[in-house]
Structure 1
Amino acid sequence: MEQELLFSDLGVSEEILKAVEDLGYTHPSPIQAQTIPSLLEGQDLIGQAQTGTGKTASFAIPIIDQVDENSNHPQALILCPTRELAVQVEGEIVKLTKYKRKISSTCLYGGDSIERQIRDLKKGVQIVVGTPGRVMDHIDRRTLKLQGVGIIVLDEADEMLDMGFREDIETILKSMPEERQTVFFSATMPKPILDLTRKYQTDPKIVKVLRKELTVENISQVYYEVKSPLKMDLITRLINLNSYSLSLIFCNTKRVTDEVTEELIARGIQAEALHGDLSQAQRTKVMNKFRKGHCSVLVATDVAARGIDVENVEAVFNYDLPLDEENYVHRIGRTGRAGKNGTAINFVTGRRDLGKINDLERFIKTSIDKMAPPSVDELLEMKKQQLIKDVYRMLSIEEDNQVYEETIGKMLTEGLSIEQLAIGLMKLQLAPAVKELKEVDFNVDLSSRGRKEDRGGRRGGRERDRGDRGGRSERKGKRPRKDRDAHMERLFLNLGKKDRIRPNDIVGAIAGETGVPGGSIGGIDIFENFSFVDVPKKDVNHVIKVMNTNTIKGKPVNFEISKG
């Protein structure tokens, strides 16, 4: 039997081994085992790995062991697509430098005090973590000098390109010494990433974690067919039935994120929203509450949730199915961490969602099982059992029960029997749930829309023509459109299918260049020679002004208000 690899086998320093041991790890993950020795030797590297595989430590450990702790200038730069991920990465570096006290790091991102960041840089740091936009800002101000930086890591490089940061990334790379170590980590390897690696790396080692290793085996993946208006009732029932301490709910838009959060709070569930419209201070406050368990449910959009790394998340709900398969893997990777069990729950509302489930199964090479919504009887039984436990728990507490006994005595003297008193108290606990549950019927029949009930017979059904089940061929080039309302304005842009642009290119460019949250961008229609996109009216002038001096996929773009 092959002996399992230890961190001590990778050639890392004693200080790192002690820090890793304090964090409770002895065995490196596959991506760490394959990358750390090569990075310690100074090799350029391309790592294909996703969130939850331990990739942060795989580049952080070699960086910490390679920088000169006696030289107080930036020697390593790590670029991240979002401020949440940048903060998470820098936090991991702080933990790993526990026994290398002379090594310091700082995090540079928008929304934080630039004066504080300048002070940190002047004080002297060896490792800089930041988002491309804020790093560029410091380069322009000459508060960050890259002449002495010998290592650069692009974390989640594909996400940065999708957000429109390619130009910034290339400017940063060109500002660095030619003799350097260049490292790319990316969940996917599209052509633009490969183009950058060919241009800026020298004979890189390629490390790829296979998909079966990326799909966490201890995550149970299921889906429920539910009518759209009943999603809130079902999600409430599932949270109550399973008594999740911490759970994540993903929505595709900021508006739905806020609506779901407000409805959960109204139902007595402690919930917080996380999306691009929140300031950095607000995001930090929300994440701290979630980490400390002061709220049990975090409702988030994909972009805002990038970099969330919270232990003990028991369940991930896809209130809206994600727009692509990669995001699905990112989402469910937030649960089932560190060998613990987790659950991914998907809501399906129509034929198109059923098609997405089929696509996801092919992508992750794992079945997503259909589940029947929990019945009224199941939930009532759970509530009864919980009530019995609570009663025994309260009776076990030693305290003066005089006030309770006096109240019982008063009710008995007024003619109530012990049985009537008990029934009245039971009704106080259970009647609201009984009334609410009996008013909800989750039955929904989508079997005629392209998905068979029998798991054994579905394989053949999946291979039928995509047009019968709303497959990708019918959706290509479009982003699901929000109903345009008085708050949205339709913009025309001069690029279309002939320019090979996708909805993600448009959203990423607008979000990356203007700061308008991607979740607030509405419907996108892409035609042969031009496209349309809906943006909030309050941002129209800003979007037009900024985007008309920029490019999408390297091509000059012209935005104007649609006349038709």
Structure 2
Amino acid sequence: MGFEEATPIQAETIPLSSEGKDIIGQAQTGTGKTAAFGIPMLEKIDTKSQNIQGLIIAPTRELAIQVSEELDRIGSEKRVRVLSVYGGQDIQRQIRAMKKGPHIIVGTPGRLLDHIKRRTLKLDEVNTLVLDEADEMLNMGFIDDIESILKNVPDTRQTLLFSATMPGPIRKIADRFMKDPVVVKVQAKEMTVENIEQFFVKSHEREKFDVLSRLLNVQSPELAIVFGRTKRRVDELARALEIRGYMAEGIHGDLTQAKRMSVLKKFKAGRIDVLVATDVAARGLDISGVTHVYNYDIPQDPESYVHRIGRTGRAGKKGMAMTFVTPREMNYLRVVEQTTRKKMEQMRPPSSSEALEGLQRAAVDELTETVKKNNLEEYKVLARELVNNGDDSLDLIAAALKILTKEPDETPIDITPERPLTSKKKSYRKDDKKFGNRGGNRGGKSGGGGKPYNSRQRQPKRQSRDS
């Protein structure tokens, strides 16, 4: 999966959890908590049983999905079945999925309690319970729901509680529902990325794809990775880029391992210019030569951001990372900046004329490079004929450049809008419909401004119309 060494929280938690001890882990997001509690939990699962043996309570649907996808990957060889349940999703579909015998449930408090009341969630055989980001659940008003859920889990269970801070109500839960817990406390190390220029582009959701296309035309990456938040997003972006003439393919968790490896092999060989990926699918990618990373969707936590942009700027080479931010997501950008201790420079979205200029410059570079190779003898006879026929040399060169210039493709593209991440500042009372939507528009000033583009760069390879 690309893990090379244990993070501090993993190194301390995994041995204690494997011994069956209750644990209070005080750690920030981005320290590797999921594997810290997930690996020992998965080790204990009896796959022959149809009962739910592990329960993870998470504050938001986004975190629930992220945790379940991670556990699904870690436990895939053992064939552990993981199911996420959260508000906003068809509850009947969840009930049908429950009947297929999942071993681990990852859910948000409101929806878990709903299933308990409907008697569709049987927790009698749960031996490991995890409370993830407990302080966040407290801020959202879920403390009563959590207590109600805990009362439905056997007293013999092992309990792990993770929280960045330890306010009074969280300590009370630990006192009431945990047995002699061991406290594991780690500091989130400062995450830095050298050799990578970092920019953000402020753009509304409906404008992002056209901005991405123009960036590709202007910046001319040799190899680029575009990160999307969801599997659907990755599929749509890869298809849209193909329509616009780029050699692009996507990878995500729904693809078979063989298909993922096939796509990566083509990317490494340069037969694909743009790889579109989710965070989970991109873990552990070690691909040399990636010059640009585009965060089409801003990631939810700083660890994901650092992981994403770390795909470029390797082996001492320079890299460039662009992050798309909607006005409502500016607070997430500030959190990332605080963690990386590096302020991102705003980049102005390129115009259509700048995109065209970038493509024209690429054609000039291609023509100049061909002349330098000096293997034109077979064409010089025809060239002399054209000149002797009275055609102006300047016109001939201009015509050659026009043919070489792959003018911007403005084919209309329909990308399904994703709900923007919103501020973590506000708190809502328990209401599953509000999960992951916990703040208003706290974005910065809108408008242009920012770093202009350098259009004198090489153009990426593009497909011909009939390829």
Shorter chain as denominator, the TM-score bin is: 0.5 to 0.7
User: Counterparts of 2:392 and 2:181 in 1: how far apart (Å)?
Assistant: 82
User: Counterparts of 1:93 and 1:226 in 2: how far apart (Å)?
Assistant: 33
For residue 518 of structure 1, the aligned residue among 421, 437, 453 is 437
Partner SS, residue 42 of structure 1: coil
Partner SS, residue 106 of structure 1: strand
For residue 220 of structure 1, the aligned residue among 189, 192, 196 is 196
**Are the structure 2 counterparts of residues 53 and 520 from structure 1 closer, same or farther at C-alpha, using a change threshold of 3 Å?**
closer
**Are the structure 2 counterparts of residues 159 and 423 from structure 1 closer, same or farther at C-alpha, using a change threshold of 3 Å?**
farther
Deviation at 1:189, TM superposition (A): 4.9
Aligned runs of 1:219-368 on 2, under 5 Å? 220=196, 222=198, 239=216, 240-241=218-219, 243=221, 245-248=224-227, 310-311=282-283, 315=293, 329=302, 332-336=305-309, 341=314, 345=322, 363-364=338-339, 366-368=341-343
Residues 87-121 of structure 1, C-alpha deviations (whole Å, 9 max, x = no match): 443333333334434x4333333455544543443
Partner of residue 150, structure 1: 127
The letter of the residue matching 1:247 is: V
For residue 166 of structure 1, the aligned residue among 131, 143, 149 is 143
Partner of residue 504, structure 1: 426
**Are the structure 2 counterparts of residues 427 and 366 from structure 1 closer, same or farther at C-alpha, using a change threshold of 3 Å?**
same
The letter of the residue matching 1:505 is: S
Partner SS, residue 74 of structure 1: coil
User: Counterparts of 2:168 and 2:245 in 1: how far apart (Å)?
Assistant: 44
Aligned runs of 1:428-443 on 2, under 5 Å? none
Partner of residue 31, structure 1: 9
Q: Tell me the TM-score normalized by structure 2.
A: 0.58
The letter of the residue matching 2:302 is: V
Deviation at 1:385, TM superposition (A): 7.2
Comparing 374-383 and 237-246, the one that deviates more? 374-383
For residue 19 of structure 2, the aligned residue among 38, 41, 45 is 41
CA contact (8 A) 1:164 1:513 kept: no
Residues 264-291 of structure 1, C-alpha deviations (whole Å, 9 max, x = no match): 99x9699xxxxxxxxxxxxx99xxxx99
**Are the structure 2 counterparts of residues 224 and 26 from structure 1 closer, same or farther at C-alpha, using a change threshold of 3 Å?**
closer
**Are the structure 2 counterparts of residues 420 and 172 from structure 1 closer, same or farther at C-alpha, using a change threshold of 3 Å?**
same
User: Counterparts of 2:365 and 2:20 in 1: how far apart (Å)?
Assistant: 58
For residue 129 of structure 1, the aligned residue among 93, 102, 106 is 106
- Matched-pair identity in %: 33
**Are the structure 2 counterparts of residues 75 and 380 from structure 1 closer, same or farther at C-alpha, using a change threshold of 3 Å?**
closer
**Corresponding position: 1:422 with 2:397:** yes
Comparing 75-84 and 140-149, the one that deviates more? 75-84
Partner SS, residue 21 of structure 2: coil
User: Counterparts of 2:195 and 2:150 in 1: how far apart (Å)?
Assistant: 39
Partner SS, residue 39 of structure 1: helix
User: Counterparts of 1:107 and 1:347 in 2: how far apart (Å)?
Assistant: 28
Partner of residue 74, structure 1: 52
User: In the comparison of the two structures, how many residue pairs are matched?
Assistant: 374
Residues 501-542 of structure 1, C-alpha deviations (whole Å, 9 max, x = no match): x95114xx38x4444872795579xxxxxxxxxxxxxxxxxx
The letter of the residue matching 1:72 is: Q
CA contact (8 A) 1:316 1:331 kept: no
Deviation at 1:77, TM superposition (A): 0.5
User: Counterparts of 2:396 and 2:438 in 1: how far apart (Å)?
Assistant: 52
Residues 152-174 of structure 1, C-alpha deviations (whole Å, 9 max, x = no match): 11233344444443332222112
Partner of residue 33, structure 2: 55
CA contact (8 A) 1:153 1:183 kept: yes
**Are the structure 2 counterparts of residues 155 and 334 from structure 1 closer, same or farther at C-alpha, using a change threshold of 3 Å?**
farther
The letter of the residue matching 1:128 is: I
User: Counterparts of 1:249 and 1:115 in 2: how far apart (Å)?
Assistant: 28
CA contact (8 A) 2:150 2:177 kept: yes
The letter of the residue matching 1:504 is: K
Higher relative contact order by CA 8 Å / sep ≥ 6: 1 or 2?
Answer: 2
The letter of the residue matching 1:329 is: P
Partner SS, residue 211 of structure 1: coil
User: Counterparts of 2:135 and 2:426 in 1: how far apart (Å)?
Assistant: 11
**Corresponding position: 1:94 with 2:72:** yes
**Are the structure 2 counterparts of residues 203 and 114 from structure 1 closer, same or farther at C-alpha, using a change threshold of 3 Å?**
same
User: Counterparts of 1:170 and 1:388 in 2: how far apart (Å)?
Assistant: 70
**Are the structure 2 counterparts of residues 515 and 234 from structure 1 closer, same or farther at C-alpha, using a change threshold of 3 Å?**
closer
**Are the structure 2 counterparts of residues 210 and 65 from structure 1 closer, same or farther at C-alpha, using a change threshold of 3 Å?**
same
Comparing 364-373 and 416-425, the one that deviates more? 364-373
User: Counterparts of 1:521 and 1:35 in 2: how far apart (Å)?
Assistant: 36
Comparing 117-126 and 128-137, the one that deviates more? 117-126
CA contact (8 A) 2:29 2:303 kept: yes
Q: Tell me the TM-score normalized by structure 1.
A: 0.50
User: Counterparts of 1:136 and 1:241 in 2: how far apart (Å)?
Assistant: 50
Partner SS, residue 47 of structure 1: strand
CA contact (8 A) 2:387 2:393 kept: yes
Partner of residue 496, structure 1: none
